[in-house]
A and B are shown apart, each in its own frame.
Chain A
Amino acid sequence: MITIIPSLEVMKAVVDNNISSPASQIRRLAFDNSTDLMSQSGVSVLLEGRLYAKIKTKLNLDQQKFFENIYRIDESAKDVNDYDIIKAIKWVAQSESNSKKVVILSENLTDYQNICNKNIKCITPASFLDLVGQAQKLYSMKIFSTLDDALMAILFIIS
């Protein structure tokens, strides 16, 4: 099973108002793709609690309901002193990686470099779209029997 954790810049591209750049478009597509994978496979999307508190300020009640019903919101690092969103995502990712494979979606890979290992991959939204496309192609060609297997191979073994 794979858990996808988007970083703040990815979520800003989804809910902020000034987001017309090509890079923002890629980030939105990566988030859409992550949500789409949830409906096709065992993938889940986890929003770190501090991050969600930031984007929640932009959401009305129906929009909050959508996020809180669809995505896992992990508040384990919410009130920890001296933790910013990056530290909190790193802590949650390491904890999550004890039971799942974890993908952190971020443009700033150096922020997460020191926690990447065989269970935690840090990749850019553009790379994520490319790799997921490869996995979907291999699955449609029946090289893998499930999309989960294809994603696991492409994201954690081959790449």
Chain B
Amino acid sequence: MTLKNVRLARAENLSAEIRKRFSLPSQGLIIIESLNPDLKENFVAIKEGGIREYLLSKGNFLEGEITD
């Protein structure tokens, strides 16, 4: 499945049904992923590891150093 779009949401603004289906907390930052070719949505809660942890869930960062 390929990531096609990403949106930000708040858990507190999502329905109880979605929170239950995706095991989301009742509050906090949520990333909504649109995936295809079998078009579907996935909801991911941002936990203590923050954005970096979310990015790493998509794979390791590529090798190389960022220079100034």
Contact = CB atoms under 8 A, between A and B. Distances in A.
A and B assemble together: yes
Interface residues of B, number: 27
Q: Is the interface of A mostly helix, strand, loop or mixed?
A: helix
A15 B52 contact: yes
A28 B52 contact: yes
Interface string A12-47: 101111000000000011011001101110000000
A8 B6 contact: no
Interface stretch (A59-67, A72-80, A91-99): A59-67
Interface in B36-68: 46, 50-52, 54-55, 58-59, 61-62, 64-68
16 contacts: A11-B66, A12-B66, A15-B66, A28-B52, A31-B50, A35-B29, A35-B51, A36-B29, A39-B10, A39-B29, A39-B30, A58-B66, A59-B62, A62-B59, A66-B54, A66-B55
Interface of B: 2-10, 29-31, 46, 50-52, 54-55, 58-59, 61-62, 64-68
